[in-house]
Amino acid sequence: MTYSEKLKDPRWQKKRLKVMEYARWRCQICGNKDNTLHCHHSYYTRGKEPWQYPDGAIICICERCHEKIHGKEKQPPPATSFGPFSQFQPATDLETIPTPESAKAKFGALRAAVERIKSEEASATQVPKEDPKISALRRAVERVSGK
């Protein structure tokens, strides 16, 4: 079964809805509720199905932020932006995370990238007060990354 076919599986659809409901149907990076929402796996482990990851390993993000994470923006980002994203691979690259340390490193890089995106968004527009659930997600990521 291809990865695209797995994303049509009812078990993934159920997991995806749970993640989006938890995020209150908003992007957990920029807070946008009007753009198309995606579910982003923070890491992949060979042999695991998309729905078999813990809830904290999948975040709800808008299409625009998802494109930034995967480097697929229609307009290139400024040269100083999104450096940590270079280590993230497209969803079709199901690389094994060999150690907890490498998973923590990816969480740390993702956390830094989220902060960079929020900083850029804040300079362009006023960012609404952070949702308490996003704060809880940030604290969980910080615990996992050891910061």
Task: Report how far residue 147's alpha carbon sits from residue 131's, in angstroms, rounded to the nearest whole number.
Answer: 21
Domain boundaries, the chain: 3-145
pLDDT value for 12: 93
Longest dimension (CA), the chain: 44
- Enumerate the β-bridge partners of residue 62: 37
Write the single-letter amino acid at 143.
Answer: R
**In order along the chain (147 residues), what is the average pLDDT of each group of 10 residues?**
88 93 90 90 87 88 86 49 42 44 67 75 61 75 71
pLDDT value for 60: 92
